[in-house]
Structure 1
Amino acid sequence: MRIWPFLIFLISFFYLSCDDKTTPLYVGTYTQGESEGIYSFEFNTKTGELTHNYLVAKTDNPSFLTFAPNRKFLFAVNEGETPTVSSFKVEDSELSFLSKVSSHGNSPCHIALNETGDKAVVSNYGGGNFALFSIKDNGEIDEAFQVVEHQTDSISSHVHSAEFIEDHLYVADLGKNAVYDYELRNRKYVLRDSSIVNMAPNSGPRHFTFTNDNNFIYIINELSSTITTAKRTDEGFKFIETVSTLSKDFKGDSFCADIHLSKDEKFIYGSNRGENSIVVFKRNNNDGTLEKIQNISVHGDWPRNFTIDPSGNFLLVANQRSHNITVFKIDKYNGRLTFLHEVEVPSPACLLF
Structure 2
Amino acid sequence: MRRGLMGWNAEELPRAALDARIARLRVAMQRNGFDAALFYTNLVQPSAVTWLTGFTPYWSDGMLLLPREGAPVFATALSKRVANWIRTTDTLSEIVNTPKPGVAVGKRIAEAGCKRVGVLEYDALPAGLYDEIAGAARHVELADLGSVFADTRRVIDDAERGLIGRADALARGALDQIDADKATDAGEVAGLVEKQARLGGAEEAYIAIAADLDSDLRMIRVAGTLPLAGRFAVRASVAYKGAWVRRTRSFAHDEAARRAYADADAWLARVASSIEPGQSLAAQLQARLKELPDAMLRNATAESCIGSYPLTAAIGAPSAGSFLVLAVELSLNGLPWLGAAPAFIDAR
TM-score between both structures, scaled by the size of structure 1: 0.23
* Larger Rg, first or second structure (1 or 2): 2
Higher strand share: 1
TM-score, structure 2 as length reference: 0.23
Q: Which has the higher helix share?
A: 2
